[in-house]
Amino acid sequence: MQLQYKSQAVAKPYFIAAIGLFVGQILFGLILGLQYVVGDFLFPAIPFNIARMVHTNLLIVWLLFGFMGASYYLVPEETETELHSPWLAHLMFWIFLVAGALTIVGYLMVPYATLADMTGNNILATMGREFLEQPLPTKLGIVVVALAFLYNIGMTILKGRKTALSMILLIGLIGLAVLFLFAFYNPSNLVKDKYFWWWVVHLWVEGVWELIMAAILGFVLLKITGVDREVIEKWLYVIIAMALVSGLIGTGHHYYWIGAPGYWQWWGGIFSALEPLPFFAMTVFCFNMVNRRRRQHPNKAATLWALGTGVMAFLGAGLWGFLHTLAPVNYYTHGTQITAAHGHLAFFGAYVMVVLTIISYAMPMLRGREANPERAQVLEMWSFWLMTVSMVFITLFLTGAGILQVWLQRVIPDPQEFMTVQEQLHIFYWLRWMAGVVFFIGLMVYLYSFFAKDKPETVEVGGVQPAAT
């Protein structure tokens, strides 16, 4: 089986890099989980703040690799034309990979303050803010890669068929690139710094990334179910309308306690309380499309990932976000393990899973077959359940830790010190770490599934050799 468009093949290295960095992210997650209970683990070689930076930055970078790979794969098919410049896509792949790798090596080998000195942070100070810790050259590299990528995708869409699906993807990608520019704005007034920092962080994950996610999910469902494009694209518009109408003003749920006016408790509370709606619509959309399917696609694993994304994004981003989004609740839960619980399930359920969905659908095609052999799919589905269920448990244990933390540190009449409280949460942190180990096992099964072949005895033996005459 051949790709419909040769240039779709550039997606393959993007997906491979994404998976490789995913493994790195989880390894550092395990280090962090252990440091929560064995405080001096790897200290002073890899302090917690460095490991956390590696964990979160790897996540962002591998999801971006996934989004770019997804775009390079789906845009030629949507636009019915070859990619504008496969060569540029290859070049940007290597630039992004090398820049990403050098950044991680820099984090691990050089003290952060020295890294800041070496990389021009004194010219334009942008470092040392959560998730935006990258040195200036890396940030500039991200801008260059994003612009070249947008140019490539934009030119392809311009010369080809313009579908609603590819336009939604493009709007999401443009939003991603434009909003990243706020990473370069770092006023010395902490309140203003925080206010606009959220324009990158919130408006990415609770704004434009949802458009990218909807487009990827819509594309995979279109292909595996054979449902009419009109129906799918109508759903997509409804989903992204709800996402932006709730999510834009919903930014206010981060403005409750950072110095912004008190009215944000109302604006942010009401609109962010609506943020579960687009995710609920996505859940309904996924199941509805699969139920109305007009064909039986042989890639059952991809169908499972698509349905899983619908459910887990709703639970993680929708439900766990709603739990602590209203100001009277958030007053007590802000900045506790409740936030960590939500962060884990939301990122996994929405963005990790949607990238794994498109990889699951596209990777077999990129390797010259419509679907993987039966045994590989079974293993992939095992990895789906291992990772998904262990992530649910990570979330539940962190939620348990968070409830107890809030109670001891912020609710009871004689509140306790932060570290006194943390020591009483060890049981939850140990359980979380064990769930993390299971997640890692699931990830290893996932990796192995790419190399699994059918055992000889399961090969069909229907063919009869014509007798020699």
Partner 1 sequence: MSAFFTKSMARNIFYGGTLFSVLLFLALTFHTTWTLPQRDHRENLTPEVVRGKHLWETRNCVGCHTILGEGAYFAPELGNVYPRRGAEFIKIWIKYRPREGVPGRRSMPQFDFTDPQLDDIVAFLKWTSEVNTEKWPPNIKG
CB of 357 within 8 A of CB of 309? yes
Q: With respect to partner 1, which residue has the nearer C-beta, 192 or 297?
A: 192
Residues in CB range of 464: below 8 A, 6 or more apart: none
Residue 460 Cβ vs partner 1, minimum distance, rounded to whole Å: 42
Residue 277 Cβ vs partner 1, minimum distance, rounded to whole Å: 12
Residue 410 Cβ vs partner 1, minimum distance, rounded to whole Å: 5
Q: How many Å apart are CA 157 and CA 76, to the nearest integer? A: 8
- Choose among 56, 62, 50: nearest CA to 20: 62
Tokens of 141: 């590299």
Residue 347 Cβ vs partner 1, minimum distance, rounded to whole Å: 15
Residue 48 Cβ vs partner 1, minimum distance, rounded to whole Å: 5
Dihedral-angle region of residue 360 (phi above 0 means left; psi in -120 to 50 means alpha; beta otherwise): alpha
Residue 103 Cβ vs partner 1, minimum distance, rounded to whole Å: 13
Q: With respect to partner 1, which residue has the nearer C-beta, 44 or 462?
A: 44
Q: How many Å apart are CA 271 and CA 197, to the nearest integer? A: 20
CB of 31 within 8 A of CB of 41? yes
Residues in the chain: 469
Q: How many Å apart are CA 328 and CA 312, to the nearest integer? A: 26
The number of CA neighbours under 13 Å toward the Cβ of 380 is 27
Q: How many Å apart are CA 97 and CA 46, to the nearest integer? A: 23
SS3 content of the chain, % helix, strand, coil (to 5): 75, 0, 25
Alpha helices in 226-336 (DSSP H): 229-250, 264-273, 276-291, 300-313, 320-323, 327-333
Residues in CB range of 269: below 8 A, 6 or more apart: 252, 253, 325, 326, 327
Q: With respect to partner 1, which residue has the nearer C-beta, 297 or 410?
A: 410
Residue 283 Cβ vs partner 1, minimum distance, rounded to whole Å: 15
Q: With respect to partner 1, which residue has the nearer C-beta, 396 or 441?
A: 396
SS3 (DSSP) at 236: helix
Q: With respect to partner 1, which residue has the nearer C-beta, 337 or 360?
A: 337
Residue 383 Cβ vs partner 1, minimum distance, rounded to whole Å: 29
Tokens of 299: 């890639």
Neighbours of 183 (CB within 10 A): 20
Q: How many Å apart are CA 222 and CA 303, to the nearest integer? A: 11
CB of 124 within 8 A of CB of 184? yes
Q: With respect to partner 1, which residue has the nearer C-beta, 275 or 380?
A: 275
Residue 465 Cβ vs partner 1, minimum distance, rounded to whole Å: 53
Q: With respect to partner 1, which residue has the nearer C-beta, 134 or 299?
A: 134
Q: How many Å apart are CA 71 and CA 145, to the nearest integer? A: 14
Residue 252 Cβ vs partner 1, minimum distance, rounded to whole Å: 8
Q: With respect to partner 1, which residue has the nearer C-beta, 58 or 244?
A: 244
Tokens 């493009």 -> residue: 170
Q: With respect to partner 1, which residue has the nearer C-beta, 92 or 239?
A: 239
Q: With respect to partner 1, which residue has the nearer C-beta, 17 or 286?
A: 286
